[in-house]
Chains A and B, each alone.
Chain A
Amino acid sequence: MIGIVDYGAGNLRSLEHALAALGRPSRRVSQPGALRRCSRLVLPGVGHFGAAAAALHSSGLAAALQTWVSSNRPLLGICLGLQLLFEASDEASGTTGLGVWPGRCRSFDSDCLKVPHMGWSPVHMTTGPEIPAAYFVHSYFVPTAAGPTHWNWRGTAHYGVEFLAAGQSGAVTGCQFHPEKSGPRGLDFLKEVLSW
């Protein structure tokens, strides 16, 4: 059973539909205790880094997720869910993320770019699941220098700057784009990550 971490951030429906279309049963988990019944977790997220991190910390989910990761169990962070894996973000100075990976999320330069970065951009994978283009909606990004020293695979995209589009280290995967909104190739990507 795939657990979708539900901390009150946005619409989980699309993700549930995508998992259902892949034939993967899922349930929402909002209490640390409920994680036990899951074999893998997805941490979704649309919204504000500060509010999301606060909700994860106050519910005890943050600690439970950190324990989950340290016991090498599979976790996929999507969009804000990827950013929350890191230590901090320009979006909410003083708020700590899960700190699974080192680094800080940065803000796009709104003087030069239309922010948020919204739409389909090409993804360049080193190795790992192929996805030629994916759907992004975000105002903050993970710099390519951030993250673990060893990646199983990693992909980048470009919007004013080069940034982390997706990556996997150990059993933890993160993607900045929305695989559940990236068409048939997005579903293929999701399927591959979830079968790893």
Chain B
Amino acid sequence: MVMRRIIPCLDVMGGRVVKGIQFQGLRDGGDPVELARRYYADGADELVFLDITAGIEGRKTIRDLVERTARSVFVPLTVGGGIRCVDDAWRLLRSGCDKVAVNTAAVRRPQLLSELADRFGRQCVVLAVDALRTETGYRVVVDAGRSVTRLELSEWLRRGQTLGIGEILLTVINADGRQEGYDLAGLRLASSICRVPVIASGGMGTAAHMVDALAAGADALLAASVFHYGRYTVRSLKAALSRCGVEVRPC
């Protein structure tokens, strides 16, 4: 039996947590290390840092954050953003994270996934996929939500799994930041295709949204704003999920 994982996500830019709506209109959300420690103490099952800073300075900043976080946070930590090669991943893993998430670079060069899996094991590789719901189906989006590709979500999920990944982190952009619920049709599609765990991301507003996402096939649940802005603590969310009959790790 595997319990349902609750994963707070911290979007990090220039050493600060930021949160936007549909990848735009960013607001300051605090110090990442301090927030990570709070979520950990509160019962987070894992943490994700998504680095949305551009450039080399950003790389150093995120490594420093990972290094400081890993000293006092003893649950798995995933870091994504700007990982383009095995060396980028290695530098982050050496700083103390447990998994790396890749998105745009894997779409541009799918071989990156097998290179990472061969070097670190596929349990270490999270394929982050941003998808846009369109009239003709779900399309993969890259460049932090800016470029819609012609690649179909289902095609990319199938391909990704053959290359060596341990998990899929699916964000449907239409739902992201609205706190009106995860995109359930997208989750159903992904979970029907995936032989690896699917982490639902984008749109969480209430515990009921999480229950719906689990029913749609999600294995783990990621959320950001509801924690950053205090609608729930990890503890109160887990208590609510537990009342709904979801098996979560007791805090």
Closest B residue to A184 using CB positions: B74
A1-27 CB mask vs B (1 if < 8 Å, else 0) is: 000000000110110011011000000
Chain A residues, CB < 8 A from B98: 11, 14, 181
Contact yes or no, B45 A120, CB < 8 A: yes
Interface extent on A, as a size class?
Answer: 20 to 34
Contact yes or no, B3 A121, CB < 8 A: yes
User: Which of B43, B72, B166 is most buried by chain A, counting CB atoms within 10 A of its CB?
Assistant: B166
Closest A residue to B6 using CB positions: A120
A21 to B73, CA, bound (A): 10
Contact yes or no, A21 B71, CB < 8 A: yes
| Interface membership of A38, Cβ < 8 A | no
Take A114-B195, A119-B2, A121-B3 as given contacts and tell me if A21 and B220 are in contact as well, using a CB distance cutoff of 8 Å: no
Partner of A11, one of B1, B41, B45, B94: B94
Closest B residue to A13 using CB positions: B96
Take A114-B196, A120-B2, A120-B45 as given contacts and tell me if A13 and B123 are in contact as well, using a CB distance cutoff of 8 Å: no
Q: Which A residues, 117 to 140, have Cβ-Cβ distances below 8 Å to chain B?
A: 117-122, 132-133, 135, 137, 139
Chain B residues, CB < 8 A from A137: 123
Contact yes or no, B2 A13, CB < 8 A: no
Closest A residue to B67 using CB positions: A13
Main secondary structure of the interface of A (DSSP, over half): mixed
Chain B residues, CB < 8 A from A10: 120-121
Chain A residues, CB < 8 A from B219: 114, 119
| Interface membership of A168, Cβ < 8 A | no
Take A119-B5, A120-B249, A158-B1 as given contacts and tell me if A17 and B96 are in contact as well, using a CB distance cutoff of 8 Å: yes
> How distant is B130 from chain A, measured CB to nearest CB, in Å?
22
Partner of B74, one of A47, A116, A159, A187: A187
> How distant is A117 from chain B, measured CB to nearest CB, in Å?
7
Partner of B3, one of A48, A116, A133: A133
A184 to B72, CA, bound (A): 10
Chain B residues, CB < 8 A from A55: none
> How distant is A29 from chain B, measured CB to nearest CB, in Å?
19
A17 to B71, CA, bound (A): 5
Chain A residues, CB < 8 A from B72: 17, 21
Q: Which B residues, 188 to 217, have Cβ-Cβ distances below 8 Å to chain A?
A: 195-197
Q: Which 8 A-B pairs have the closest CB atoms?
A: A119-B2, A120-B3, A133-B249, A13-B96, A120-B249, A137-B123, A116-B123, A17-B71
Q: Please give the residue numbers on chain A whose beta carbons come within 8 Å of chain B beta carbons, in ascending order.
A: 10-11, 13-14, 17-18, 20-21, 46-48, 110, 114, 116-122, 132-133, 135, 137, 139, 158-159, 180-184, 186-187
A-B contact pairs, 26 of them (CB 8 A): A11-B94, A11-B96, A13-B70, A17-B74, A17-B96, A18-B74, A21-B74, A48-B121, A114-B195, A114-B197, A116-B123, A120-B45, A120-B249, A121-B1, A121-B2, A121-B3, A132-B250, A135-B45, A135-B76, A180-B74, A181-B98, A182-B74, A183-B75, A183-B249, A184-B41, A184-B74
Q: Please give the residue numbers on chain B whose beta carbons come within 8 Å of chain A beta carbons, in ascending order.
A: 1-3, 5, 40-41, 43, 45, 70-72, 74-76, 93-96, 98, 120-124, 166-167, 195-197, 219-220, 249-250
6 more contacts with CB within 8 A, not counting A11-B93, A17-B70, A114-B197, are A18-B74, A46-B124, A117-B2, A120-B3, A139-B123, A181-B98
